[in-house]
């Protein structure tokens, strides 16, 4: 379940949280109910994904230095016990999903969850497959909150999150590239090779482009765009040492703070929307009152002029 390493749950959760925050009414905080519900779902599904991945990969994990002590690979947990726990997690996850108004959309990702662990056996782009699988919450959050699927917001948000996953999971994959090469597994770390910095910069630009599109479509204010400009993706890529597993792990973990920063940017922007709306409404009211005052003043002056003309 990797409960001792919650980074995976955070990375699964932030796209959901971004989507939920984008669906909040102007001037309002995102729904605590949906944030909590999706938080529970992220933990449960990430745990289930880890078990499913370990079931598929237990023989491979035994050959990789970093993973050979995982419970299934080391024999600490039997396959039967793992399957039993997986069934419990999936059942609980289904109970969470049934609380939403987008059950069909949510359940449509199950096939991807099952086949993702096979991607590294048959393609050199498992990180892309993970991105497509891992970020379904970006489509669900906004839809659950608003009751509608906005393609102008949900699709570019989803694409941005797919790009983000390719970035951080490529960094993560550099930890195992030597073992993967020996075993014959694929990864974007091997595919990009010595040009990893270039390709990650390219994918980062694609991510930011989609996030900017989301910002314009959803009429975000400056805090949202500031968090994008202040994104520490540039710092990650500039200081990344792909041949240092420890540095790759630290850069991978740093992405949880990137997710938090963008979430805060969306929330602050939405609060400003409400304040700006109230301010505009107040100014409009002042202008209308002023116009009404002058209209009454002019009417009174006209009446006085008529009275003067009558007596003269």
- Tell me how far apart the alpha carbons of residues 4 and 149 are, in angstroms, rounded to a whole number: 35
Q: Are 34 and 28 in contact (CB under 8 A)?
A: no
Confidence of residue 1 (pLDDT cuts 50, 70, 90): low
Structure tokens at 18: 């971004």
Q: What sign does the CA torsion over 18, 22, 23, 24 have? A: positive
Distance CA 114, CA 23 (A): 29
Nearest to 138 by CA among 151, 119, 127: 151
pTM of the model: 0.83
Q: Write out pLDDT tens, residues 113-134.
A: 888 888 888 899 999 999 999 9
Residue count of the chain: 312
> How many angstroms separate the Cα of 161 from the Cα of each of 15, 94, 102, 156?
7, 23, 20, 9
Please say whether the structural domain 7-269 has been given the CATH code 3.40.50.11720. no
What pLDDT does 286 receive? 60
Cα 218 to its chain centre, rounded Å, is 16
pLDDT band at 148 (very low <50, low <70, confident <90, very high): very high
Which of the pair, 263 or 52, is modelled with greater confidence? 263
Q: What is the pLDDT of residues 194-233, one digit of tens each?
A: 999 999 999 999 999 999 999 999 998 888 888 787 667 8
Take residue 184 and report the two structure tokens written for it. Answer: 């014959």
Instruction: Tell me how crowded residue 174 is: count the other CB atoms within 10 A of its CB.
Output: 27
Residue-wise pLDDT tens digits, 159-195:
999 999 999 999 999 999 988 888 888 999 999 999 9
Contact 309, 302 (CB under 8 A): no
In eight-state DSSP terms, residue 24 is: S
Q: Tokens 């024999």 map to which residue?
A: 75
CB atoms within 10 A of CB 70: 19
In which band, very low, low, confident or very high, does the pLDDT at 307 lie, cut at 50, 70 and 90? low
Q: What percent of the chain has pLDDT over 70?
A: 86
What φ, ψ does residue 268 adopt, rounded to 5°? -65, -40
Choice between 310 and 279, residue whose per-residue pLDDT is larger: 279
Please tell me the predicted confidence (pLDDT) of residue 278.
Answer: 53
């Amino acid at each position: 379940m990797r409960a001792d390493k919650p980074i995976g749950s955070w990375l699964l959760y932030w796209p959901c949280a971004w989507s939920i925050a984008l669906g909040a009414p102007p001037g309002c905080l995102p729904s605590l109910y949906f944030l909590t519900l999706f938080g529970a779902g992220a933990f449960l599904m990430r745990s289930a994904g880890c078990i499913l991945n370990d079931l598929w990969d237990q023989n491979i994990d035994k050959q990789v230095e970093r993973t050979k002590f995982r419970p299934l690979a080391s024999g600490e947990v039997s396959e039967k016990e793992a399957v039993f726990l997986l069934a419990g997690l999936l059942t609980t996850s289904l109970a969470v999903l049934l609380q939403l108004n987008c059950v069909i959309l949510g359940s449509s990702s199950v096939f991807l969850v099952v086949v993702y662990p096979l991607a590294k056996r048959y393609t050199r782009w498992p990180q892309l497959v993970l991105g497509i699988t891992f970020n379904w919450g970006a489509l669900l959050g906004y839809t659950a909150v608003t009751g509608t699927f906005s393609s102008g917001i949900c699709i570019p948000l989803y694409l941005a999150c797919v790009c983000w996953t390719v970035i951080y999971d490529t960094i993560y994959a550099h930890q195992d590239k030597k073992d993967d090469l020996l075993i014959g597994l694929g990864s974007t770390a091997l595919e990009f090779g010595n040009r990893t910095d270039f390709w990650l910069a390219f994918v980062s630009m694609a991510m930011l482009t989609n996030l900017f599109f989301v910002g314009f479509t959803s009429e975000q204010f400056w805090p949202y765009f500031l968090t994008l400009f202040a994104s520490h993706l540039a710092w990650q890529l500039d200081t990344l040492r792909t041949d240092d597993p420890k540095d790759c792990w630290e850069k991978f973990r740093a992405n949880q703070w990137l997710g938090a920063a963008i979430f805060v940017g969306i929330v602050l922007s939405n609060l400003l929307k409400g304040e700006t709306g109230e301010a505009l409404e107040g100014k409009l009211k002042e202008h209308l009152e002023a116009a009404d005052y002058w209209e009454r003043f002019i009417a009174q002056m006209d009446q006085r002029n008529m009275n003067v003309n009558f007596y003269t």
